[in-house]
């Protein structure tokens, strides 16, 4: 198989499960460390000509991370897209199995079984309500039907915007504060929130700085995510 991945988390999943299959990946595909493949641009601006030149049998994409016009351009170039739709943990686990099978993985990887077991054994903490910004200038937060929101819900965190009409709504900071969250969850991607950039916007509200890979990636990180996220949530401070 010759595979190009346009999704960082799928890149990691395929690279650690079926070494040698990947021939191309985006500039944002940072895992596993030392991945040696041709870089084909970003998730939002892939170089279609460069991808086609690699003669892949499959191009891995995601309906959220990759743009429909780019996927259409791939099809016009005769490329076969495998487009994933992942909005819950269960969908993520199923799609990972499909992706790995499509890439010729001979057996189900141990990390996938470990991920299932890790999440099955989760005991939710005391319920807390939260807002989960993913960007500022303007402020954007998790809304309805998101993978990250599903993971947090399994850990006892209720997203105050889980019923919003949009999946990633823009909400003014004053409105976010007025919503009265117990907690603000601040991942380090796609916007890199830090102890000095994010918590100060929510004075008096506990802030949990979390690893964005643990919250938003579907792949080997899922086996570590329940423990890592729970630890970060427990460490939330005002």
For the chain, the structural domain boundaries read 3-108, 123-234
Query: Which segments in the chain show pLDDT lower than 70?
Result: 238
Q: Do 3-108 and 123-234 share a fold?
A: yes
- pLDDT given for residue 106 in this prediction: 82
- pLDDT given for residue 231 in this prediction: 94
- pLDDT given for residue 119 in this prediction: 97
- pLDDT given for residue 238 in this prediction: 60
- pLDDT given for residue 136 in this prediction: 96
- DSSP β-ladder status, 38-39 and 22-25: parallel
- List beta partners, residue 159: 130
- pLDDT given for residue 193 in this prediction: 98
The CATH number assigned to the domain with range 123-234 reads 3.40.50.1980
Cross-sheet strand order for the sheet of 38-39: 38-39, 22-25, 3-5, 58-62, 81-84
- pLDDT given for residue 32 in this prediction: 94
Task: Give the fold, CATH level 3, of 3-108.
Answer: Rossmann fold (3.40.50)
Question: Distance between CA 78 and CA 81 in Å, rounded?
Answer: 9
- pLDDT given for residue 69 in this prediction: 94
Sign of the C-alpha dihedral, residues 55, 221, 170, 164? positive
Question: Distance between CA 105 and CA 114 in Å, rounded?
Answer: 17
């Amino acid at each position: 198989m010759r595979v190009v991945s346009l999704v960082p988390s799928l890149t990691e999943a395929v690279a650690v499960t079926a070494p040698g299959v990947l021939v191309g990946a985006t500039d944002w595909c940072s895992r596993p460390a030392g991945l040696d493949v041709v870089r084909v641009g970003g998730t939002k601006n892939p170089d279609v000509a460069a991808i086609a030149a690699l003669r892949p049998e499959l191009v891995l994409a995601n309906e959220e991370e990759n743009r429909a016009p780019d996927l259409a351009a791939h099809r016009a170039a005769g490329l076969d897209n495998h487009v994933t739709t992942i909005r819950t943990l269960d969908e993520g686990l199923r799609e990972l199995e499909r992706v790995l099978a499509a890439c010729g993985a001979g057996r189900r990887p141990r990390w996938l079984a470990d991920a299932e077991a890790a999440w099955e054994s989760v005991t939710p903490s005391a319920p807390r309500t939260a807002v989960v910004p993913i960007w500022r200038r303007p402020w954007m937060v998790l809304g309805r039907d998101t993978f990250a929101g599903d993971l947090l819900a399994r850990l006892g965190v209720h997203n105050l915007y889980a019923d919003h009409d949009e999946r990633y709504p823009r909400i003014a900071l004053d409105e976010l504060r007025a919503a009265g969250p117990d907690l603000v969850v601040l991942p380090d991607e796609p916007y890199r929130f830090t102890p000095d950039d994010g918590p100060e916007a929510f004075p008096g509200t506990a802030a949990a700085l979390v690893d964005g890979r643990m919250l938003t990636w579907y792949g080997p990180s899922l086996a570590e995510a329940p423990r890592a996220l729970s630890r970060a949530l427990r460490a939330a401070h005002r």
